[in-house]
Amino acid sequence: MKISAIILSAGNSTRYLSSKPKVFHELSGQKLIDFNISLLNKYKEIKSCHIITNTALKENFINLGYKNISIQSPINGTGGAIAQFVSKNNIKADYYLICLGDTPIFNKKTIDALIKKTKNQKLDINVLGQNLDNPFGYGRLIIENKNLKAIVEEKNCNIEEKKISTINTGIFLLSKRALLLSKKIKKDVQKKEYLLTDLIKIGLEHKYKVSYSLNAYEKIMGANTIEEMQHLQNQLQTSIIQSLMSKGVQFENPLTTFISHDAVIDKDVYIESNVVIKNHVKIKQGSLIKSFSYLEDCIIGKDCNIGPFARIRPGTLLEDDVKIGNFVEIKKSNLKKGVKVNHLSYVGDSKIGLNTNIGAGTITCNYDGKKKFKTTIGDNCFIGSNSSIVAPVTIANKAYVGAGSVITKNVPSNSLAIARVKQKHFKI
């Protein structure tokens, strides 16, 4: 069973009230459209993935590295998009999975079940539906004796049809011959566009096997407005945090915590309130992340203690037993086992050796206005409070730096460096 995927993303997102295209907004650190692309890439049966968009958005997709872009022109509805795709492309796959760019699928099992039923029953059209307590705004599945008879858009529903709770998610699995039927879709009188949902009636008229599958996993919801996007964000965050808790991660207050979809967090990690964990973060067993800390694209080793009010920036590796105090910022640095960076310090573009202590208020001065430079501090060093380390500079093993020093030259091992103006007293 060879499948091609088609993602419909030709809308102008006028209801979203943003200059940024809706499908490029992020949910838990991932672009909205990428949820479906990353899911589809997991299937060996899916040989290709096509994105249908409009002329205005084409450059956005190309600049971001997306491939297999088709243009819908004119913009004339979902049915029109598929009909145009059929007329412009060689239809070779056995089946075509139709998804929506602004309707992310969070659970792979949803598509697994859709494919399995379609394959087992040799269906031509399989529509993914789901039950909602409040179906307002969605097309309704008209089901009689467990058979799908039609999909009626909200605007076209009569009073009785509006009471139906089973809605159309916008996800279809179509056989090759069912896809070709899209050319027979007629323009909807009220919406003045071609609706893919009309394919149900056309398929039945041609004696094709038509059915539906009910989504039994996370709810699939569209994001037509900022409010709906926030609803999706809340849904996804709940799912991420529940998954982590099931693996032994503890939270002080999960409602105040943000965690990116790709975070990898081991058991026995404890996360306090108001923590943000974004983009490619790994936290190993036994570490404590204190309140109001912000972690991004970094690795935290075992039994580390971070924060509160700490910022760990991209490219940072903290090895085991590292202590990062409050109001400390670490950027693109490697801190070896046992390092302590006390409060109000900045460490950037640095390598710090085993068991070294960085005193409060210490700054690595890594930028001269044009270039970034590296600071290297060896094992078992002690950097006194309120010191400035002007890179490039190396402080060797077991060296000491006196408090308030401005270090501009390399410091040899087993030595004390003091670089500050001599204290003087003047009578007044």
Note down the domain range covering 276: 226-417
Of the three residues 214, 249, 279, the one that is the final residue of a domain is: 214
Query: Angle at CA 422, nearest 5°, toward 416 and 426?
Result: 160
Same domain, yes or no: 78 and 201: yes
- Which residues are annotated as catalytic? 343
**Matching residue, tokens 């500050």:** 420
Which pLDDT value is given to residue 223? 87
The pLDDT tens digits for 60-79 are 999 999 999 999 999 999 99
Same domain, yes or no: 154 and 11: yes
Q: Would residue 89 count as lying in a domain?
A: yes
| pLDDT band (50, 70, 90) for residue 423 | confident
CATH classification at residue 264: 2.160.10.10
Instruction: Count each helix (H run) and each strand (E run) in the chain, helices first.
Output: 7, 38
The pLDDT tens digits for 183-224 are 999 998 888 899 999 999 999 999 999 999 999 998 998 888
Same domain, yes or no: 63 and 104: yes
Which pLDDT value is given to residue 294? 98
Distance, CA of 89 to CA of 85 (rounded, Å): 6
Flag whether pLDDT at 9 surpasses 80: yes
Q: Would residue 392 count as lying in a domain?
A: yes
Same domain, yes or no: 311 and 262: yes
Same domain, yes or no: 198 and 303: no
Question: Of 15-29, 242-256, 273-287, where does mean pLDDT reach its minimum?
Answer: 15-29
Q: Would residue 422 count as lying in a domain?
A: no
How far is the first Cα of the chain from the last one, in angstroms, to the nearest whole number? Answer: 92
Distance, CA of 299 to CA of 282 (rounded, Å): 5
Please give the average per-residue pLDDT across 372-401, as a whole number.
Answer: 97
Same domain, yes or no: 252 and 109: no
- Which residues, listed in sequence order, are joined to residue 375 by a DSSP beta bridge? 350, 393
Of the three residues 214, 244, 264, the one that is the final residue of a domain is: 214
Flag whether pLDDT at 13 surpasses 80: no
> Across the chain, what does the average pLDDT equal?
95
Q: Would residue 424 count as lying in a domain?
A: no
Which pLDDT value is given to residue 44? 93
Same domain, yes or no: 337 and 236: yes
CATH classification at residue 58: 3.90.550.10
| Proportion of the chain above pLDDT 70, given as a percent | 99
Same domain, yes or no: 409 and 318: yes
Q: Which of 131, 135, 151 is nearest to 217 (CA)?
A: 131
